[in-house]
Amino acid sequence: MTNRKIVVALGGNAILAHDASAQAQQQALLATAKYLVEFIKQGDQLIISHGNGPQVGNLLLQQAAGASEQNPPMPLDTAVAMTQGSIGYWMQNAMAEVIAENGLEVDVASVVTQVEVSADDPAFKHPTKPIGPFYTKAAVDELKVAHPEQQFVEDAGRGYRRVVASPRPIGVKEAGVVNQLVKAGIVPISVGGGGVPVVREGNRLVGREAVIDKDFASEKLAELVGADLLIILTAVDHIFVNFNQPTQQRLTQVSVSDLKRYIAEDQFAKGSMLPKVEAAIQFVEHRPAGQAVVTSLENIGEFLATGSGTVISADVRDATRPDDELTTTTHD
């Protein structure tokens, strides 16, 4: 029984790949739950977070298509809360099913989480966060004519996506609630979709048109609840340097200082792996006794058994391993 407090951050693209139906996303989460339950089986205190980039983008498209004067579309912060609720509902049911299958008695609860950001964050003037589906260049040109206020960027070689403001989190309003749930033996699902972005105005928290990066929100939550481990799940088992090049190497154990050196070398793509690396660094700098791990969902069993994955610590010897075969998997 390890009894570590662990925040596991799951990407929204792992929930919604191609089929946007509720049934397909529920099936994806059921498969995910079978991996996550392994932490509970070995006695860890689990906190789950998740992204919502595809889901909130699709919701905005649905609202725009059906908008009228009598039925106006909801603002982006409310759309984030809506997807927090829907994904949390699916996730807690999936976890409950798998927990029962394993003969465990653990409750799971979703928390609609507000994440505080600064009203002066420069991100509000420079949108960078991709949301929604991928588009071809021709489709983007048509969308720009119909919606000139929207901005689109090419996303890691996978197509074009709409981008919105992505301010950095400075607090998690419900962090205390999450800690109380953990102390009661309940698995919380929190900061879904990066949390609802809010700014403080006196005694009020007011929503903002933005989507917070779920890795940074998960880091902030892990920091505030005193987690021992932050696990950021992506599409590959390890962080790579010289990614998709003949000299590609996977990192197994790496220090914060070495990761900063790799960032200075521009080793990590801004739209995919870089935020995960920066969030891992931020967590370890705030929790020097803790560790951050970047790996894939499918590698969780191997991580629990052997420590496989990229483990980031405050001060360890940099370890890299050459790959015999070049992977073409893109970072999630």
pLDDT in tens, 129-187: 888 778 899 999 998 898 888 899 987 778 998 889 999 999 999 999 999 999 999 99
- Region 312-319: what's the mean pLDDT? 74
Q: Is residue 276 part of a domain?
A: yes
Are 93 and 179 in the same domain? Answer: yes
Are 204 and 262 in the same domain? Answer: no
Which of 184, 16, 19 shows the shortest CA–CA distance to 90? 16
Q: What is the pLDDT of residue 46?
A: 98
Catalytic: 13? yes
Q: Which domain holds residue 80?
A: 3-7+9-32+43-127+165-213
264 φ/ψ angles, rounded to the nearest 5 degrees: -65, -25
pLDDT in tens, 283-304: 999 999 999 999 999 999 999 9
From the candidates 51, 53, 88, 129, which is the catalytic residue?
129
Are 183 and 288 in the same domain? Answer: no
At 43 the three-state DSSP class reads coil
Q: Is residue 332 part of a domain?
A: no
- CATH number at 254 reads 3.40.1160.10
Are 194 and 89 in the same domain? Answer: yes
User: Residue 207: pLDDT above 70?
Assistant: yes
From the candidates 276, 290, 299, 309, which is the catalytic residue?
276
Q: Is residue 13 part of a domain?
A: yes
Are 120 and 244 in the same domain? Answer: no
Rounded percentage of the chain residues whose pLDDT exceeds 90:
76
Q: What is the pLDDT of residue 57?
A: 86
Catalytic: 3? no
The domain tally of the chain equals 2
CA distance 158 to 175: 35
Are 269 and 196 in the same domain? Answer: no
- How does residue 318 score in pLDDT terms, banded at 50, 70 and 90? low
Q: Is residue 329 part of a domain?
A: no
Q: What is the pLDDT of residue 331?
A: 46
Q: What is the pLDDT of residue 19?
A: 87
Q: Is residue 219 part of a domain?
A: no
Q: Is residue 190 part of a domain?
A: yes
Q: What is the pLDDT of residue 47?
A: 98
From the candidates 11, 12, 53, 309, which is the catalytic residue?
12
CA distance 23 to 255: 41
Are 104 and 25 in the same domain? Answer: yes
Q: What is the DSSP string of 128-158?
A: -EEEEEEE-HHHHHHHHHH-TT-EEEE-TTS
Are 191 and 278 in the same domain? Answer: no
Q: Is residue 23 part of a domain?
A: yes
Are 171 and 25 in the same domain? Answer: yes
Catalytic: 214? yes
Are 114 and 208 in the same domain? Answer: yes
Pairing of strands 204-207, 169-172: unpaired
From the candidates 57, 214, 220, 271, which is the catalytic residue?
214
- Region 31-37: what's the mean pLDDT? 96
Catalytic: 276? yes
Q: What is the pLDDT of residue 327?
A: 42
Q: What is the 3-state secondary structure (H, E, C) of 177-219?
A: HHHHHHHCCCEEECCHHHCEEEEEECCEEEECCCCCCHHHHHH
pLDDT in tens, 43-96: 999 999 999 988 998 898 899 889 899 999 899 999 999 999 999 999 999 999
Choose one of 180, 213, 246: the last residue of a domain: 213
Q: Is residue 141 part of a domain?
A: no
Are 14 and 71 in the same domain? Answer: yes
CB 95 within 8 A of CB 33: yes
Q: What is the pLDDT of residue 330?
A: 42
Are 240 and 116 in the same domain? Answer: no
At 34 the three-state DSSP class reads helix
